[in-house]
Amino acid sequence: MSDEIQQVDLFIVGGGINGAAVARDAAGRGLKVMLAERGDYACATSSASSKLIHGGLRYLEKFEIPLVRESLREREIMLRIAPHLTRPLRFLVPITGQQKRPAWLVRIALLLYDFLSGRQLLAASGRLDRHEISRLPRLRKADLADVLHYADCWVDDARLVLETLLDARARGADIANRRTVTRLAANENGYHVTFEEGAAARTVHARFVVNAAGPWTNDVPGLEGTGIERKALRLVRGSHIVLNLPRPVVRDAYTLQNSDGRIVFTIPWLDDRFLVIGTTDAPQEGDPGDARCSDAERDYLLACYNTYFEHPDRPAGSGDIVWSWAGVRALVDDGREDPSKVTRSAKIVAKAQGTGGLISLYGGKLTTHRRFAEKIIRQLQGMGLETGPEWTATAPLHGGALAREKLEQLACKPPRGVKPGVARRWAFTYGSEITALYEMIWQRPELAREVVPGINEAELRYSATTEDARRGEDFLLRRTKQYLFLTTVQRKTIQQWFDDNRGISPDDDIV
């Protein structure tokens, strides 16, 4: 091992939302930060969520009031700091005679939800009148006693992770995907962290390490030898199915009470082109990376949907599903048998190591990632790390510097060769960074060339150089959701573009 080993204050294992949030917060406080993500950013749980920034209405039933209050308050912070990725969403709660939770109980829960939220931007909860109910498309009305409504927020989960990491990078953090931690070894004042990047292996010295490896938190190589407590985990899979949104279009999200007492959401997605239905709670056996929506989960979600909605002509079936995804919640095992009942509260486990230390994270929510990072930094401070003050509640995220109205205006003035629909998608994908894409085309008009319909060369180039996309799927599934709009041949064309432009840098002349 070289004597000139690189020193960092904080090394983070895992580029999901928790690792990203800690990296951003720590970098903004002046720390020397390095982060390793072995796959692509957000390739695991953090791109397989229900994509909600929400209080978690159902957690009220479990009296997880502090978690709900904290989550509710984060909604408006996210609307302010990431307006391009987060938007308010109205949820309707249909109440029928057969449900476990009657209207009065849900109404009380919603009033408590409003009360805890300290809301300024989001609408208050309430109840639809008969006329409004009669106009709801496709909802079965036969047994309907009431329809309540409340607001939460929708977020692009994979981009939230990415923009958080890009923000950390802009503040000096060394962030990389396809960088795999292969060994953690404690020494006098911290840890040697070895990682592989391509064919090369490197070791750095980190005074502090945050292990944010999600479902793999207990499996980070060398963790056992550090002596840190490894909590027993319950791996609980949650699946979603995606339907082509039937007509007439349902524009609201729904919170449905299923016959087993569980809550299932239906969420209109991608400019109302698709409908997402989820989620489930199923034990995940084997590697969390292999999680897939099972046939039983698919049928469960379809059955719940068909109970509440009339699909045109016939009930929705497996043939209507255009996509599905499954993610694994890594929950601390609290001994409860029913996976739906295991606590969703996050846990932090810490171990001092000389003047340094190690923290392992368990659980967490997309919604509370920013607050979770603050708690982790506080814990590190308690272990001797000196940092600047909290700052993340008000600073716009990467791409978050412009309000939605301003983004709408920019989308109306695309450079020549960029279709208006594409410019609008860019506005609510890249936010204020849309100007970087425009600038590329203004300087080199040939980059407006469409590689496949709706995807211009400038966008692929931006994705590869600024956002570290290396493969077609990085771009099609996580930087954007264009996968759902392309044919197999077009997806291959995008992959080919990445193959042909390996190693591209912002200054390269690729045309």
Binding site for ligand FAD (CB under 6 A): 13-19, 36-39, 43-46, 48-52, 54, 180-181, 212-216, 220, 238, 279, 327-329, 364-367
Q: Is the omega angle on the peptide bond into residue 279 within 30 degrees of 0, that is, cis?
A: yes
Cβ closest to ligand FAD, residue 239 vs residue 490: 239
Which contacts (CB < 8 Å, 24+ apart) does range 110-113 have? 110/57, 110/148, 110/150, 112/60, 113/55, 113/57, 113/60, 113/68, 113/72, 113/150
CB of 48 to ligand FAD, least distance (A): 6
| Integer Cα distance of 467 and 433 in angstroms | 11
CB of 18 to ligand FAD, least distance (A): 4
Neighbour count for residue 229 (Cβ, 10 Å): 8
Cβ closest to ligand FAD, residue 51 vs residue 84: 51
| Integer Cα distance of 318 and 248 in angstroms | 20
The length of the chain, given as a count of residues: 511
Neighbour count for residue 488 (Cβ, 10 Å): 7
Cβ closest to ligand FAD, residue 237 vs residue 424: 237
CB of 364 to ligand FAD, least distance (A): 4
The residue whose Cβ lies closest to ligand FAD is 16
Tokens of 154: 């929708």
CB of 92 to ligand FAD, least distance (A): 17
Identify the bridge partners of residue 184 per DSSP, sorted by sequence position.
193
Cβ closest to ligand FAD, residue 326 vs residue 407: 326
CB of 492 to ligand FAD, least distance (A): 25
3-state SS, 197-260, equals ECCEEEEEEEEEEEECCHHHHHHCCCHHHHCCCCCCEEEEEEEEEEEECCCCCCCCEEEEECCC
Cβ closest to ligand FAD, residue 162 vs residue 440: 162
Cβ closest to ligand FAD, residue 152 vs residue 459: 152
CB of 435 to ligand FAD, least distance (A): 30
Q: Is the omega angle on the peptide bond into residue 248 within 30 degrees of 0, that is, cis?
A: yes
Q: Are 281 and 258 in contact (CB under 8 A)?
A: no
Cβ closest to ligand FAD, residue 41 vs residue 462: 41
Q: Are 107 and 124 in contact (CB under 8 A)?
A: no
CB of 236 to ligand FAD, least distance (A): 7
